[in-house]
Structures are given as structure tokens and as C-alpha cells.
Structure 1
Amino acid sequence: MTNKKISDSIVETIHIVRPQHLNSVGRLFGGVLMQWIDEVACLVAKRHSHTGVTTASVDNLNFIMSAYPNDVLVLIGKITFAGRTSMEIRVDTYREDIDGTRHPINRAYLTIVALDKNDQPTEVPGLLIESPSEQMEWESAKKRREMRIFRRQEGF
């Protein structure tokens, strides 16, 4: 299995906040954004692994600011870490102004597991780290992975 570049599996999607996406106070419902984030993360993982995938966990879902009706949201997902059968995917969400200026509204990290045809975990390609920023993200991802393992062992 050959290693793959992070850039090989980047996904970018665009959504317009519509009335059916709003909560009772007229802002984007967090659950809708979480669904979009999960979809982007799974697409990134499928591109990297060329397998079926499932979400194992969601970390650090930080809501920085709200989104409102007719806002254009851009979600960008990229792989940050590849283990034996799991991948960490970072998804950043931005509100995009009419002039193209992007304002961050959310960042999330998800752990996605690759699945074979029998829905059993299967090995994934490794990552080719090509820049200092990718190396920093890889190192941070390893620390997050250690924290997830610790929390699972402690029953959190």
C-alpha cells in the first residue's frame, strides 16, 4: 500500500443556509452543521482509503460564531493523520462574504475508520508529509489520538 499526499483527498463543499436549517432563534442549527461536517470528513476518508468508512468519534467541535439565513458556508476537509485502520480528518467551516472573504465559524476533528466489504476495519494508506505545516498538524494529531485513547480507557 503506497502512501498518499494530504492534497489528494481534500474536499470542499458549499452550502447556503436555508429556512429548514435554522433553530428556534433563527440561526443555523448545530446539528445540521454537524451533519455537513460528518459528510465532508467521510468523503475525505473515502478518497484517502478507497474503502467504505464509518465515523468513530468527533472531537473539538468548536462553534466560533453563528451562521444566519442566506449565509454561504464553505466546508474544507483534509486528512491530518493516518493510523493502521483509522484516519483523523480536520474540517474547517467558513462563512463566505459576497466578495469571497472567508470568516471561520467552526473547526472539528473526526476519527473515521476504513471498512472492508464485510464492514470490518481495514488498513489505510499512510500519509506523505510534504510541508512543515503538515508535519505540525501530524504531530498535533498524534497527541489528540493519545488523548482519545486515554479517554476511552478511562471510560469517558
Structure 2
Amino acid sequence: RLFGGQLMAWIDVVGAVAAKRYAKSNVTTVCVDNLNFLNPAFLNETVLMQACVTWTGRTSLEVRVDTFVERIDGTREKINRAYLVFVALNENNEPVPVPEFHPETQEEADEFEAAIARRYVRLNR
């Protein structure tokens, strides 16, 4: 069985890659939010991860990371969904602005609205 801590480390790396590509700068993880383990992954199964930006602030951005397992019979199953917040940094590790995110599909718009709600909850903890 895949250790949850290992999966969390992979999620952080995949999320950071998506955030770096979007921000075109270095990033640091600020928050891991809504990390939901849905199903296990076992030995000899392939783990697939997919990340996308869901929201941007001035210097921060939220990234959703979905994790799937491909079973030996070829079927795929979602095993995890996580939301992470990153801050873009310059070469002096100071926050820098990120490009504004503009949803292009209804799914992106729905995710954007949900990200705003998640941000509100995070800020009011």
C-alpha cells in the first residue's frame, strides 16, 4: 500500500511545478488544504497526477492536484484530491505578482468560485 506521506510529498512537487509554470518564478508552499484520501494505491499500480491553477491573488495562487491510480487491469480510479496555495518568489525570496487567472470554461469558473470560498475559510481560521 502506498504510504500517505509519500503521496503528500508527490502532491507538493506536482503542485509546485504547475505553480512555477504559471507564475514563471520560484514558488513556496504556503498551505496544503482539503487533502482527501479517497482510495488506496497498491504495489505494481501506476500513480498518475494532474495539476491545474484554480485561482490567483496578487502574489499567491491555488493549485488543485488530482491523483489517480491505474490498476493492473487498465482501469483508472481517483484516489486523492488536494488544494495547495503557493506564493511566487523572486531571486531574493520576496513575493512577486502572479498573472491574473481568467477561467475559460464553466468547470474552471466553478472551481474559481470554490477557490474563493476556500480562501475565505483559510483566512478566517
TM-score, normalization by structure 2:
0.96
- Residue aligning to 2:47: 73
Query: Structure 1 vs Structure 2: percent identity of aligned residues?
Result: 50
- 5+ residue gaps, structure 1: 1-26, 152-156
> Equivalent of 2:117, from 115, 120, 143?
143
> Is 2:36 aligned against 1:62?
yes
- 5+ residue gaps, structure 2: none
TM-score, normalization by structure 1:
0.77
8 Å CA contact retained: 2:45, 2:72: no
Moved more, 125-134 or 138-147: 125-134
- Larger Rg belongs to: 1
C-alpha offsets along residues 24-71 of structure 1, whole Å, 9 cap, x if unaligned? Answer: xxx111110001000000000000001010000001111001111111
> Is 2:18 aligned against 1:44?
yes
C-alpha offsets along residues 118-138 of structure 1, whole Å, 9 cap, x if unaligned? Answer: 101110001121111110000
- Residue aligning to 1:35: 9
Distance 2:40 2:70 in 1: 13
- Residue aligning to 2:99: 125
Distance 2:34 2:102 in 1: 25
C-alpha offsets along residues 99-120 of structure 1, whole Å, 9 cap, x if unaligned? Answer: 6432010000000110011101
Write out the 4+ residue segments of structure 1 that deviate beyond 2 Å after TM superposition: 97-101
> Is 2:89 aligned against 1:115?
yes
Distance 1:145 1:101 in 2: 34
> Equivalent of 1:94, from 57, 68, 71?
68
Equivalent pairs, count: 125
